[in-house]
Amino acid sequence: MSDQSAQTPSLRNLPRTAIISGVVASLAVVAIAVKTGYPLRYDDERQYLDIAHSVSSGGGFALDGAASAWRPPAWPLILAYPLAMGVPEPLLLAVPAILIIGAAVIAASIAVRLTGNLWGAVAGVAVLAYPLNLYTASTLYPQALATLLIVALFYFAVRVSDMPPGITAVGAGLLASVVALSVPTLAFTGAVVVAWIAFQMRSRFGPAFLTVAAFLTPIAGWAIRNWIVLGSPVLLSTSTGSNLLIGNNPTARASTGVSVDISVHNDAVRGMSELDSDGYLRDRALEWITENPVDAGWLFIRKTLNYFSPYNSPATSGQGDGTVALVAWVAFFVVVALVAVRIVKRADIPFVGGERLVFALYVINAPVMAIFFTRARFRQPLDSMLLIEATVGLVLLGIALSRRTKTDPANSPDLGVTKARRVRPPIAPRLCRRSRNQIV
């Protein structure tokens, strides 16, 4: 094990100039987020902040002065801490930026490990520069937290066979639980990763049990709180009915998001409790689906396809333009192309750990999220997993080009060497040697 560790490069081996450049880029991301993210642009952001203010001031998890579960708890609780420390609202935008930076560092570490090459650190640059990530870093949406958590889960999935089982079990379980309590649409992803890791450790009952227990315990704690305070054990949030109706009504389209007309139903729930409102709106959504099965079915298919859209226009007018959309589309297709290279050339760097699971989850999430409605920012935390695989594809592309150059007779000093004598050593050791030569 020690010999293998000695051969495997890590971020500690990066040249000093690369590290300094990464720090400067990170500071730039924080500065841009603070500069452009305030005043807040969206109602959702204000709701998370209002709950955080209530928590930090001792009023409990409340919205509009009343105990609430309208928003899941993790993100407001995180925002409440700096507020309690006296951090002014505009500087709160540094929090999502810092979370994206953390995701970039973990992504770089994963890609270096997968490729055995320090060029894998480009994954960190990709996560920082990805348009949807930059957008997320400048909002108080919980997707920045979810991005960090999803990438960290990927790290555990990749290293499930060589990390201490207790750390893997508790770490992965808690991360998946916080994912669910941050962005409920990603609860499915967290649950599947937990089940997969528990299955990998099935020969050891203790770690497998710990994985599931660590996942369920925080969710159970939140449900018990809601049972005591609201009178019902709400698992994640009381906005499920609203989200279901937003995505399933006569005015909903594949990419309309929240820009739909459900005003009649919103008027009907005025004065209702959160629980009653949630139930009423959920019933109206299910009623429309059952009464219009063909329309609902076609809408579901279109929403599933919209999940893969690189860009959706923001609901607030004046946000985004043709240039932003073009950048998002180009970035997404570059990522997809490099992921295709990674898959085609998987024989050179074989899949390890949960890499296949990553691809499966990315695709399966399309119909799962389409049950409600799909937006590019809902998928955005999962994109960072693809960015890691795209970086592996980029390294593989570099290896292929390097091989082609070295085997070209015009570039070879040894023209008398036969093809049979040009057999090269396996890729992984060669990559490791190349990486060690870059150590400073």
Residue 376 pLDDT more than 70? yes
pLDDT at 67: 97
What number is the average pLDDT over the span 194-207?
Answer: 89
Give which of 160, 154, 163 is closest to 197, Cα–Cα.
Answer: 160
Residue 331 confidence class, pLDDT cut points 50, 70, 90? very high
pLDDT at 415: 29
Give me the chain's average pLDDT, please: 89
Secondary structure of residue 63 in the 3-state scheme: strand
Burial 82-91 (b: 16+ CB within 10 A, else e): bbeeeeebee
Q: What is the pLDDT of residues 92-139, one digit of tens each?
A: 999 999 999 999 999 999 999 999 999 999 999 999 999 999 999 999
**Tell me, what DSSP letter sits at residue 161?**
T
Residue 404 confidence class, pLDDT cut points 50, 70, 90? confident
H helix intervals, 345-426: 355-370, 376-407
- Distance between CA atoms of 325 and 143, rounded to whole angstroms? 19
Structure tokens belonging to residue 319: 């946000």
Model-wide pTM > 0.85: yes
pLDDT at 425: 37
Residue 286 pLDDT more than 60? yes
Residue 10 confidence class, pLDDT cut points 50, 70, 90? confident
pLDDT more than 90, % of the chain: 81
- Distance between CA atoms of 96 and 101, rounded to whole angstroms? 9
Q: What is the pLDDT of residues 164-180, one digit of tens each?
A: 999 999 999 999 999 99
pLDDT at 426: 40
Domain ranges of the chain: 15-406+423-436
What number is the average pLDDT over the span 343-372?
Answer: 95
For CA atoms 256, 258, 259, 264, the dihedral sign is positive
Residue 267 CB partners (closer than 8 Å, separation 6+): none
Q: Rounded to whole angstroms, what are the CA distances from 98 to 27, 239, 425?
A: 9, 28, 41
pLDDT at 315: 64
What number is the average pLDDT over the span 184-207?
Answer: 92
